[in-house]
Chains A and B, each alone.
Chain A
Amino acid sequence: MLTIDKLPLIRDKALWMRRTAFTMVHKAQLGHPGGDFSAIDIMATLYFGVLNYDPKRPDWRERDRFVMSKGHATGALYSALCAAGYFPEEWLPTYMQPKSLLNGHPNRNYLPGVETNTGPLGHGFPVATGIAIAGQITGATYRTFVLTGDGEQQEGSNWEAAMVCGHRKLANLTLIIDRNRLQQGAGTEETSGLDPLDDKYRAFGFDVDEVNGHDHAALLALLSAAPGTKPRCVIANTTKGKGVSFMEGVASWHHGVPNAAQYEQAMKELV
């Protein structure tokens, strides 16, 4: 079980990413910490257990691609890219400051490691589909992973992409849905319900798995498994704000920002 060795590293990186993301948000007094924290275990697993990449060669053609479709979760993305070695830690405090390369939503022209510009929801999955098609028609061996929010699944463009993935049997693509069941103001099911999400993706031609999105071992096993014959959808059941007691499952932390006392409290918990 080669992969077991990776778990301590993934756990350490996820903790560092949470502390880093929350520090960025606290300093900027801007950001989306709830969605950062629901995604961070997935991203730490990808960057430190699954993805094949070289931060010194961000344009390496055979790199595995990770597309952050929930582009507002830049606390998670930037802390992951920094941890992965794409840019120095000194850049992190510039988050959302004037002329910072760390814009509120990611820009691939600013930062190495960003595969495409996202922010408006429902964009990353179609772009990831195109990346996977490029791999399919050229026989490239790279894999493409895309992370969407769950509220984001309400955007119709995702279902256009799902039809294309299913039709073309894009086995080199894995869609991960951060299923924290909250969108910015309320639950997904009380807003415009998504369930049964698994059946929907099966009907669109995906292999579907559900996983605890904070269980590194389970995520690692699923995401590092060899591609099958269909595109894969991983529904990662998560908790918005995971890891900080007063944020967990609270919708207002979608774009809430901590005061000094809350920041101090969170840092005590994130150890």
Chain B
Amino acid sequence: MAASPHGAAPTTAGFQDCRNIWVQTLETLAEADPRIVAVVNDSVGSSKLNSFQKKFPDRLINVGIAEQVMVGVSAGLANGGRIPFVSAASCFITARALEQVKADIAYANFNVKLVGQSSGIAYGELGATHHSIEDLAWLRPLTNLAIIVPADAWETAEAVKWAAAHEGPVYLRLSRMPVPDLNIPNRVFRSGQAETVREGSDVTIIACGTTVHLAAGAADLLKAEGIAARVLNFSTINPLDEAALHAAAATGAIVTVEEASVRGGLGGAVAEFTSTNKPVPVERVGFPGFLPTGSTDWLFKEFGLSPEGIAAAAHRALARKA
């Protein structure tokens, strides 16, 4: 656990910390379904579960700072007919307990919802021990584990509701970085389906989580240059929306953007798909490895997770387009 987790990040007007909607949604679901329980590794506060604990004291299971037993216990709770939402910093729930996630949850196929909080580089200056940029790479091969990376508050709520209703293991990758609402009219959450944020056919920008609004910003910059960039909110990493990827490849150039390592995550998945089905240039925006000390905002900009950086990657992809 982080010895002293960051407080709420400074919010830009209209930006929201999605942890609030996560816990509001969970409480609403828990009121209706007594099977829902929360399991934590002393992460009550950082998961914003204080009010859940007050409302449902018997249904908040805090195993202490012990991630292996946290995940193992959740498999047992599912065996006993509960629906556990296991909430902990994503670096610990995935890395520290990886064998439990693999064997006890995915391989055993228990109905457990793993909720990785403060994913990516939300812990900024705390450094690589607390960053979780590798999680997508090491969870993707667990093919029956649904992986959802919501892009905004609305999608966070929908993903939590979907996870509760879905029979099977889920990894919800949540952020503490405030993000704006994508403001897409008539939205319907469909797991396994990419969502079109901007229409376009010159290049496709495939993003997830905190980077989707940045990708939309990049598309706006590109539009001013006469380039029509399609932006996809690729919130489901497992299973991949192959139809959307076929259509993306048809635009002839792809940029992937994720608050994660450029190795093995969303970018890796897209590159695997295109190399097999329709090789097109794929530029992967993300993090190269262990990162230097810096705030989350600084690291985002430094490594090109910004409208300008993503637009530059689009230019690189377009330059390589056949």
Task: Tell me how many residue pairs across A and B have CB atoms closer than 8 Å.
Answer: 108
Indicate which residue in B68, B84, B108 contacts A116 across the interface (CB closer than 8 Å): B108
Contacts of A117 in B (CB 8 A): 103-104, 107-108
* B178 nearest CB across to chain A (Å): 34
- In the docked arrangement, what's the CA distance between A126 and B107, Å? 16
B64's nearest neighbour on chain A, judged by CB, is A163
Indicate which residue in A109, A122, A164 contacts B63 across the interface (CB closer than 8 Å): A164
Q: Establish whether residues B69 and A129, one from each chain, have CB atoms under 8 Å apart when the complex forms.
A: yes
Q: Establish whether residues A133 and B80, one from each chain, have CB atoms under 8 Å apart when the complex forms.
A: yes
Residue of A116, A127, A138, A157 with highest tally of chain B CB at under 10 A: A127
Q: Establish whether residues B68 and A133, one from each chain, have CB atoms under 8 Å apart when the complex forms.
A: no
* A204 nearest CB across to chain B (Å): 13
Q: Establish whether residues B68 and A137, one from each chain, have CB atoms under 8 Å apart when the complex forms.
A: no
Q: Establish whether residues B61 and A133, one from each chain, have CB atoms under 8 Å apart when the complex forms.
A: yes
Q: For this complex, into which size category does the number of interface residues on chain A fall? A: 20 to 34
Contacts of B109 in A (CB 8 A): 108-109
Contacts A116-B108, A120-B99 given; indicate if A138 touches B80 (C-beta within 8 A). Answer: yes
Contacts A109-B109, A163-B66 given; indicate if A61 touches B81 (C-beta within 8 A). Answer: yes
**Is B51 in the interface zone, CB < 8 Å from A?**
no
**Is A46 in the interface zone, CB < 8 Å from B?**
no
Chain A interface SS verdict (over half): helix
Contacts of A125 in B (CB 8 A): 72
- In the docked arrangement, what's the CA distance between A167 and B63, Å? 9
Q: Establish whether residues B64 and A126, one from each chain, have CB atoms under 8 Å apart when the complex forms.
A: no
B62-77 interface mask toward A, CB cutoff 8 Å, 1 = contact, 0 = none? Answer: 0110101101111111
- In the docked arrangement, what's the CA distance between A164 and B59, Å? 15
- Contacting residues of chain A (86-140) with chain B, CB-CB under 8 angstroms: 107-109, 115-120, 122-123, 125-135, 137-138, 140
Q: Establish whether residues B76 and A129, one from each chain, have CB atoms under 8 Å apart when the complex forms.
A: yes
Q: Establish whether residues A161 and B108, one from each chain, have CB atoms under 8 Å apart when the complex forms.
A: no
**Is B225 in the interface zone, CB < 8 Å from A?**
no
Interface size on B, residues (CB 8 A): 30
- In the docked arrangement, what's the CA distance between A252 and B68, Å? 31
Q: Establish whether residues B75 and A116, one from each chain, have CB atoms under 8 Å apart when the complex forms.
A: yes
**Is A156 in the interface zone, CB < 8 Å from B?**
yes
Indicate which residue in A61, A120, A130 contacts B74 across the interface (CB closer than 8 Å): A130
Q: Establish whether residues B76 and A126, one from each chain, have CB atoms under 8 Å apart when the complex forms.
A: yes
* A252 nearest CB across to chain B (Å): 27
Indicate which residue in B72, B76, B107 contacts A134 across the interface (CB closer than 8 Å): B76
Contacts of A133 in B (CB 8 A): 61, 73, 76-77, 80
A142's nearest neighbour on chain B, judged by CB, is B80
**Is A160 in the interface zone, CB < 8 Å from B?**
yes
Q: Establish whether residues A132 and B76, one from each chain, have CB atoms under 8 Å apart when the complex forms.
A: yes
Contacts of A131 in B (CB 8 A): 76-77, 79-80
A155's nearest neighbour on chain B, judged by CB, is B68
- In the docked arrangement, what's the CA distance between A120 and B103, Å? 8
Q: Establish whether residues A134 and B103, one from each chain, have CB atoms under 8 Å apart when the complex forms.
A: no
- In the docked arrangement, what's the CA distance between A133 and B80, Å? 8
B105-121 interface mask toward A, CB cutoff 8 Å, 1 = contact, 0 = none? Answer: 00111100000000000
- In the docked arrangement, what's the CA distance between A160 and B62, Å? 12
**Is B255 in the interface zone, CB < 8 Å from A?**
no
Q: Establish whether residues A161 and B72, one from each chain, have CB atoms under 8 Å apart when the complex forms.
A: yes
- Contacting residues of chain A (40-69) with chain B, CB-CB under 8 angstroms: 61, 65
Contacts of A140 in B (CB 8 A): 80
B66's nearest neighbour on chain A, judged by CB, is A160
Q: Establish whether residues A156 and B73, one from each chain, have CB atoms under 8 Å apart when the complex forms.
A: no
Q: Establish whether residues A138 and B68, one from each chain, have CB atoms under 8 Å apart when the complex forms.
A: no
- In the docked arrangement, what's the CA distance between A163 and B65, Å? 11
Contacts of A122 in B (CB 8 A): 68
- In the docked arrangement, what's the CA distance between A167 and B69, Å? 13
Q: Establish whether residues A127 and B76, one from each chain, have CB atoms under 8 Å apart when the complex forms.
A: yes
Contacts of B76 in A (CB 8 A): 116, 126-134
Contacts A109-B108, A138-B80, A156-B68 given; indicate if A130 touches B73 (C-beta within 8 A). Answer: yes
* A24 nearest CB across to chain B (Å): 22
Contacts of B69 in A (CB 8 A): 126, 129, 157, 160-161, 163-164
Contacts A109-B108, A117-B108 given; indicate if A127 touches B75 (C-beta within 8 A). Answer: yes
- Contacting residues of chain A (122-180) with chain B, CB-CB under 8 angstroms: 122-123, 125-135, 137-138, 140, 156-157, 160-161, 163-164, 167
**Is B16 in the interface zone, CB < 8 Å from A?**
no
Contacts of A120 in B (CB 8 A): 99, 103
B144's nearest neighbour on chain A, judged by CB, is A109
Q: Which residues of A are at the interface with B, using a C-beta cutoff of 8 A?
A: 61, 65, 107-109, 115-120, 122-123, 125-135, 137-138, 140, 156-157, 160-161, 163-164, 167
Complex A-B, nearest 7 residue pairs according to Cβ-Cβ distance, in ascending order = A130-B76, A134-B80, A126-B72, A130-B73, A160-B69, A131-B76, A160-B66
Q: Which residues of B are at the interface with A, using a C-beta cutoff of 8 A?
A: 37, 58-59, 61, 63-64, 66, 68-69, 71-82, 84, 99-100, 103-104, 107-110
A-B contact pairs, 5 of them (CB 8 A): A109-B108, A126-B68, A133-B73, A137-B61, A161-B69
Given A119-B103, A130-B73, A138-B82, 16 additional A-B pairs, CB 8 A: A116-B75, A116-B79, A117-B107, A120-B103, A123-B103, A126-B68, A126-B72, A126-B100, A129-B69, A130-B77, A130-B84, A131-B80, A133-B80, A134-B77, A140-B80, A160-B68
